[in-house]
Chain A
Amino acid sequence: NAGVTQTPKFQVLKTGQSMTLQCAQDMNHEYMSWYRQDPGMGLRLIHYSVGAGITDQGEVPNGYNVSRSTTEDFPLRLLSAAPSQTSVYFCASRDGPGNSPLHFGNGTRLTVT
């Protein structure tokens, strides 16, 4: 059971470039989300999805797009990378409401120069 798989693990972009961070889960979880982690800031929610075809914004959505065409996949797109988007990005999934925990991917370290 692979759990939540994120690719790539590391990425360097130049300002203005675009890219997609991939996230896939094999647990048939309805809920998926993207967080970014910055030093001294904890983890902050970027976007989330409660099922295929349904997405919504989190705390820090600007500069990012998401879509959810299947239950398994939830890619995060950076439209025009900025140095402020240098961060570690985590994808996570969970079963649904209640106290079921978030299952995290191993993160993507993104550097924008």
Chain B
Amino acid sequence: AQTVTQSQPEMSVQEAETVTLSCTYDTSESNYYLFWYKQPPSRQMILVIRQEAYKQQNATENRFSVNFQKAAKSFSLKISDSQLGDTAMYFCAFMEPSGAGSYQLTFGKGTKLSVIP
């Protein structure tokens, strides 16, 4: 079974600074999908960014970017110019490309990020 590990239960960053959240995963698949979800205090789950393992180029979405290291099975999230609205729980998630595993996300335990004014 795939596992996703987020080794930083809590982090903080000053407003306007840059922060990187870590995520590692374990799989024997060669192709798969990776996601970062944000959960603000409102409890809503919001997709931040996604990466397909066969794409070598790192995904970016405005201030959010990833550092995808396939050989190391690492998928970190970088938030640039941090804003107060970035305060949230962040979950890393993994999904297989086909079969029964293609219908479920395996989540890490989350990293609680606080942006300090």
Interface residues of A, Cβ cutoff 8 Å to B: 31, 33, 35, 40-45, 48, 50, 56, 58, 88, 90, 92, 94, 97-99, 101-102, 104, 106-107, 109
Whole-angstrom distance from the CB of B47 to the nearest CB of chain A? 5
**CB within 8 A of B47: which of A42, A101, A106?**
A101
A99 close to B109 (CB less than 8 A): no
Complex formed: what's the CA distance from A98 to B96 in Å? 8
In the bound complex, do residue A98 and residue B43 qualify as a contact, i.e. CB atoms below 8 Å apart? no
Given known A99-B33, A101-B50, A106-B44, contact A33–B110 (CB-CB < 8 A): no
In the bound complex, do residue A48 and residue B52 qualify as a contact, i.e. CB atoms below 8 Å apart? Answer: no
Docked CA distance A16–B100 (Å): 33
* B27 at the A interface (CB under 8 A): no
B103 contacts A90, CB within 8 Å? no
Q: Would you call B43 and A107 a contact (CB within 8 A)?
A: yes
- Selected contact of B35 from candidates A90, A98, A101, CB within 8 Å: A101
Q: Are B50 and A88 in contact (CB under 8 A)?
A: no
Q: Name A88's contact: one of B43, B47, B100 (CB within 8 Å).
A: B43
Q: Does B104 contact A (CB under 8 A)?
A: yes
Q: In residues 1-24 of chain B, which contact A (Cβ within 8 Å)? A: 4, 9
Residues of A within 8 Å of B110, CB to CB, are 42
In the complex the two chains form, what is the Cα distance from A88 to B45 in whole Å?
12
Closest to B9 in A: A40
* Residues in A whose Cβ lies below 8 Å from that of B107: 35, 42-44
- Tell me whether B91 and A42 are in contact (CB under 8 A): yes
Q: A43-B91, A58-B104, A97-B97 are in contact. List 19 more A-B contacts (CB 8 A).
A: A31-B103, A33-B104, A35-B107, A42-B4, A42-B107, A42-B109, A42-B110, A43-B105, A43-B107, A44-B107, A45-B104, A50-B103, A88-B43, A98-B102, A99-B50, A101-B35, A104-B45, A106-B43, A107-B45
Point out the residues of chain A lying under 8 angstroms from B56, CB to CB. none
Residue of A58, A88, A98 touching B97 (CB-CB under 8 A): A98
